[in-house]
Amino acid sequence: MHNHQITILPNGIRIISETLPYVKSFSLGFWFNVGTRDENDNNNGISHFIEHMLFKGTKNRSASQIADEIESLGGYLNAFTSKEHTCYYGRGLSRHIEKTFEVLADMVQNPTFKNREIKKEAGVVVDELYDIEDNPEELIFDKFESMLFKGNDLSRPIIGTTKNILSFKREDLLSYLKDNYTFDNLFIVASGAVNHQDLVEFTKKYFSKDLGKSKRKRKKLNLNQAEDLYVFKDIQQSHFIMGKPTYGYDNKNRIKVSLLSHILGEGSSSRLFQSIREKNGIAYQ
């Protein structure tokens, strides 16, 4: 039986662990409750840009040292940004969990945001934006969400706009970090060969800096009526997406909807796959 434990520290940090006694490795994530939803038109893309920049060096480590310290132990570091969360995570053998924890804690508390690195990384992120524009399978989801959530903060693309990406300054990043990378926005989550009390002690040890508390308030969503949107690209195939608002994570009915989604469209035995590809030969996928 899996062992789940939760600790909430007085400063607001939440520590969640799942011990798996049959493994020798761990997965550790620092989840911040901040994403595209917390941006505006002028700084859209800043959550994702900061995610990139935290790998570019801290007051204690260069970018290469961040990578070398973990990879030399056979570990792995990465991160991702979503509409509502930003996660920095690492994986490795259980005996290296404290080192991974310490490196991640250093990254989220002590980034340098050097101007030359900001300028260089802006070019990288703009190229990532072009990758999305050139990939209809990704682009269609961005366009769908922009229509579904039109007029709401969730309508904006995670990566932002070229104009915003090229305009971010050091003070913009520092201000956004201070406002959102706070104790009450931080969830430390680990699974595998982990000891919950060790995670609590690591948190107390490596989060000595006062990150304060967030004053942010998210706006309530106002969903729109059904619409059609067409994006024309000079490519050989058509890509189609259809959807509607449904239950949130806090509603038990979402499990029923997830099951229905699998029956209709997940895997080669699904109704849509069998009808579109196997029966009618309309499309490959």
How does pLDDT run across 48-81, given as a tens digit for each residue?
A: 999 999 999 999 999 999 999 999 999 999 999 9
pLDDT in tens, 125-182: 999 999 988 888 888 888 888 888 888 899 999 999 999 999 999 999 999 999 999 9
* The pLDDT value given to residue 45: 97
User: Token pair of 199, please?
Assistant: 């995670």
pLDDT grade for 216, boundaries at 50, 70 and 90 = confident
d(CA 125, CA 127): 5
**What local confidence, expressed as pLDDT, does residue 284 receive?**
72
Domains assigned to the chain? 3-206 (3.30.830.10)
Q: So what's the pLDDT on residue 2?
A: 60
**Catalytic residue ranges:** 51
Q: What is the pTM for the complete model shown? A: 0.90
